[in-house]
Each structure stands twice: as structure tokens, then as C-alpha cells.
Amino acid sequence: MIKRFAARVLARRAQPRAKSGLVQSALAGHSALGLALGALIYIVCLSGAVAVFADDLGRWEWAATPESASVAPEAVDKAMAAGLVRAGEMAGGVEKVSVLYTLLPRPDWPHLAVRAYTQAGGELTWQADADGVLADAPSDKWTDVIGDVHLGLTLPGLWGGLVVGTVGIALMSLLFSGILAHPRIFRDAFALRLTGGRRLGLADLHNRLSVWGLPFHLALSITGTLFALASLMVVAIAQVGYHGNLARASAPLRGPAVVADAATQPLPPIALLQAQVADPTPGAARISRFYYVERPGTRGQRVLLDMTRRDGLTQGDRFYFDGAGKLLAPAGFLDGSIGLRVYGASLALHCATFGGLAVRLAYGVLGLALAIVSATGFSIFLARRRDRGRPLPGLERAWAGVTWGVPLAMALSAACTLVPGLAREPVYIGAFWLPVAALPLLSLLVHSGEGVSRLLRRVLGGGLLLLAVAHLARHGIGLPGAALVVDLILAGAGAGFIASTGLIGRRAAAPAAPASVAP
């Protein structure tokens, strides 16, 4: 009798227990949360790899405007004065223009652009020729929107920094835990088997790119997290050390103040400003990047001149002037406190503002590798589940929609720059986020994750080819060299996506060796 009872108990324990509705809902919510966090990490990484080339893509976007490698200081003064007058006419008075911002031409950005911000929240942009004559220019840049996606996911206020900072912390945690979870990660640094089983190929690609770019990945994730959370850290510092006085806590980053005075005062000549901050060091490579004026046209205007360096790991420095053009103080990124110097160097390190095109290319490749690492990490988890007999087919299809939907959304939003009526920031934002949100849901209608991947890769490849052809058709074959190179890269990438359909995900006929993936 005891033997029969024991056998009955063992039989009951051997039977699989059906999960309750609450457990099923919790598991579904947990998986959806993992998908959302993985998607945000992927979006931040991929948009960062694209944003590194903001100047180059900006030249592609402004291919219809003439390029001027250098402009005389007098032409800059003329363009700024004309921009202030035009902005005042549109805003109802010069006193209603809060900021005048001028992008100065340099080798990577051979344009002179004037932008004005009004107290009502308006934004006006003009492009100037070599003589300082203004012409209409695209008021909203697609490259600025991609930068906003990377910096704050286009969320308002502190929310963007909070979310991206959280994403950065999650990314750093994944990088460190990945190193600890793979004891042979450095020993197998050159093992790359893309034609084996899906899980094996993804694991090798994930692990190898993680090892090859590890110093870069750590540096970018750490600095990016610091910048994303900078506003929150200033608030915390104000509460702890300055009795809640936010202005005192942020003063070192905001520079010296100038007392507001509404009396009329002409804009100081840029040559006067540059002469006061000229670097006497032989061979010094300082380039004026932008000219920023608060309360322009008044005696209380405060002027900021950015002088970028190209000869070292530094952001350069920013110099402040009063309304008459008298030098007040530098921001201190070069010669200030240790904290400010570290901040300036970290900014240059994260944004690749040193070293020119060669450094941007390296950042682009390594940033793309980080995006691939973030995408394949979740794919490996799904492949492991399938190999163990516990697949998540819906999640597989949704993740394929994220992986290929994000670059497809970028291409779609970039295509809006070619349609005059759609070349506006709200349209760019909508054209990006709508596919990002919709494609994972639409992917559930396809039979498998691999089917979604093949379909979206073909659509992405065709979209990039069409984007390059449409851009060439609109601007002609004689467009600036940088824009032509971007078109050739788009066309090559599009053809590559179409040709590589199914390459990495192809299963080998023979059984594959088990992948070295952490449980």
C-alpha cells in the first residue's frame, strides 16, 4: 500500500503543471518588458552610430545649397546682422529674439548658417553665401532629429535624459555581466562561424564584436550615461550642496553671467572675438565652430564663441564675451578645474569631435558593432529558448520587426527630406517612431521570425536604393562630393542587404556544435 501511494505521488510530480493565468500574464509582461528595454538599447546604439556622421549627412541633406569652405569675418558679421533684422521682423521686434546662433564653415561643414530663436518658441534658419547674403534654408534638419533620438529619444525635458541614462546603465551592466559570463570570450576572439546553426552564428558574432570593441563600448556607455543623467545630477548636487539653488550648482557649466540690459548694442565683430582667443602656440589647430548670442542686439547680450581643437582628445573651449565684445572667461574645458577638463575631454570622446574623418569612420564601425551586439543578445536568448523546446514565436517575430524596423524607420524619415512639404521636424519624428512602433506588431502576422527578417531586409535594401536614386535624381550627378559619397554608401548598403538575405540565419545541414553562450 505504501509503495502504491509513493508511486502515485511520484507520478503526480512527474506531470507538468499548467501555469495559472496570473503566472502566464506575469511571464508575458516580463518578456514584453525585456523586449522594450532591448529595443531602447538598440535604438540608442544605432542612432548614435548614425549621429557620429551628422556633419556629413547634413551636407547630404543640404546638397542643394552652395558650399563655402571659408568665409571672411566681415561676411559672417553681415549674415548675422541680417539674420537678426529678419528674425525681428518675423517676431514683432528685435527685443523678442532670444538667441542668435550661427554655424561657421569648417572643413567638415562648409556652410554658413544663421538660426534665430524667438521668445514665442519659434525657430528660423537661413543659409548664407560667401558674401554673407542670406537665403532660405531647411529650418529643420533630419540629422538633428536623429541626434535627439540618441540623446533623449525625442522626449521632452528631463524625461529624455532619464530614460537614456537608464538605458546606459542597463547597457553597462550587460557589458560587464557578459564578460563575466563568458570565461572563454577572449580565448575565442577569432572564432566566427556564420554558416552554422542560427544560435551558433549569432553567438559567435555577438561574442566576437563584444571583444573587439570592448574598450570603445565601455567608454561610450559610461560617458553617454553621464551626459544623459547630467541634468539630474545637477539637481541632486543643488539639493545637497547649495540648499536647492539650481543656478549656483550649474554656474560652472553655464559660464559667467551678463546683466540684462535692453539698450541697443550692435553685435560685436567676430574678428574682434577671435583675436582675443587666438592660440599663439605654433601649429595650433583651433577652428571656430559656432557663435551664440543671448539677447542679441542689446547691451546685455552675452556672446559665446566655440573654438574646437583638432590636435588632441579635447572638445576645445568655449569663450564668453559681454555685449561690447570684451572677453569674460573661457568655459574651462582646457585650463579650468579638473572636473571641467574631464567633462570637455569626455564630450569629445563620446561625440568623436577630434581626429577628423578617420576617427568618425572608426566610431561609425564600432558604434554599428555595438548596435549589432545589442540586437544579437536578445536574439540569442530567443534562439536558446527554441533549442530547449520552449520557443517564444511571437517574441521572435516582434524582435525581428525591431531589429530591421529601426533602420527602416531611419530611412523613411530621411526620405521626408526630399519632399518639401514633409521636411519638418514633427514629420521626421513621426516617420521614425510610427514604423518603430508598428512593425513589431505587424510582424506577428508573418509565419516566423526568420520570415520577418528576410522580408524587412529586402524592404530595407530596396528603400536605401530608392533613397539614393531619388536623392541623385533631385540634385543631379553634380552634387557636392560628400553628398555623392553618402548616396553611393546608401546604394551599396541597400544592395548588400538584398544580397545577404538569409545569410547569417541559414542553418547548416550538419548538426552544429553547441554555442558558447552564457545560461
The Cα 209–Cα 282 span in angstroms is 41
Residues 459 and 489 in one domain: yes
Answer yes or no: are the C-beta atoms of 38 and 206 closer than 8 Å.
no
pLDDT of residue 508: 37
Q: What domain range is 459 assigned to? A: 35-62+357-499
Residues 293 and 368 in one domain: no
Residue 18 lies in a domain: no
Residue 253 lies in a domain: yes
Helix (H, G, I), strand (E, B) or coil at 328: strand
Residues 345 and 382 in one domain: no
Residues 156 and 276 in one domain: yes
Cell of 253: 557649466
pLDDT of residue 335: 75
The Cα 188–Cα 348 span in angstroms is 33
Domain end residue (candidates: 316, 335, 351): 351
Give the Cα-Cα-Cα angle 340, 345, 351 (nearest 5 degrees).
125
Residues 215 and 266 in one domain: yes
Residues 232 and 258 in one domain: yes
pLDDT of residue 417: 92
Q: What strand order describes the sheet that includes 302-309?
A: 134-136, 123-128, 112-118, 97-103, 286-294, 302-309, 317-321, 327-330
Residues 369 and 405 in one domain: yes
Alpha helix segments (H runs only) across 52-197: 54-61, 73-91, 142-152, 157-181
C-alpha separations of 477 from 108, 393, 493 in Å: 21, 46, 19
Residue 505 lies in a domain: no
- Other residues' Cβ atoms within 10 Å of the Cβ of residue 206: 22
Q: What is the DSSP string of 280-320?
A: -STT--EEEEEEEEESTTBTT-EEEEEEEESSSSS--EEEE
The Cα 104–Cα 75 span in angstroms is 11
Q: Give burial (CB, 10 Å; 0-12/13-18/19+) of 278.
A: exposed
pLDDT of residue 251: 65
Residue 231 lies in a domain: yes
Residue 88 lies in a domain: no
Domain end residue (candidates: 304, 328, 351): 351
Nearest to 217 by CA among 179, 183, 171, 185: 171
Answer yes or no: are the C-beta atoms of 417 and 142 closer than 8 Å.
yes
The Cα 109–Cα 100 span in angstroms is 19
Residues 322 and 375 in one domain: no
Residue 454 lies in a domain: yes
Residues 347 and 378 in one domain: no
Residues 452 and 339 in one domain: no
Q: Give burial (CB, 10 Å; 0-12/13-18/19+) of 514.
A: exposed
Instruction: Give, as one character, the DSSP assignment of residue 162.
Output: H
Answer yes or no: are the C-beta atoms of 93 and 286 closer than 8 Å.
no
Residue 409 lies in a domain: yes
Backbone angles phi, psi at 109, to 5 degrees: -140, 80
pLDDT of residue 26: 55
Cell of 136: 532660405
Residues 269 and 346 in one domain: yes
Residues 299 and 200 in one domain: yes
Residue 71 lies in a domain: no
C-alpha separations of 187 from 91, 177, 183, 208, 400 in Å: 64, 17, 8, 10, 30
Q: Is this prediction's pTM over 0.95?
A: no
Domain end residue (candidates: 351, 379, 402): 351
Answer yes or no: are the C-beta atoms of 208 and 215 closer than 8 Å.
no
The Cα 497–Cα 459 span in angstroms is 9
pLDDT of residue 491: 95
The Cα 437–Cα 458 span in angstroms is 19
Answer yes or no: are the C-beta atoms of 76 and 130 closer than 8 Å.
no
The Cα 249–Cα 269 span in angstroms is 32
- Measured on CA atoms in the order 217, 218, 220, 224, is the torsion positive or negative? positive
Q: What is the DSSP string of 193-220?
A: -TTS-HHHHHHHHHHHHHHHTHHHHHHH
pLDDT tens-digit profile, the chain (519 residues): 555 545 554 455 444 444 455 655 554 554 556 678 889 999 999 999 999 999 899 999 988 888 887 889 999 999 999 999 999 998 888 889 999 999 898 878 898 999 999 998 888 889 898 899 998 776 678 999 999 999 999 998 778 888 998 898 888 888 888 777 776 666 666 666 555 556 666 777 777 788 888 889 999 999 888 888 777 777 777 677 666 666 666 666 677 888 999 899 999 999 999 888 876 665 555 677 888 999 999 999 999 998 876 666 666 788 999 999 999 988 777 777 787 788 888 888 888 888 788 889 999 999 999 999 999 888 888 888 888 888 888 999 999 999 999 999 999 999 999 998 888 899 999 999 999 999 999 999 998 888 999 999 999 999 999 999 999 999 887 788 889 999 999 999 999 999 887 544 444 333 444 433 333
The structural domain count of the chain equals 2
Answer yes or no: are the C-beta atoms of 403 and 379 closer than 8 Å.
yes
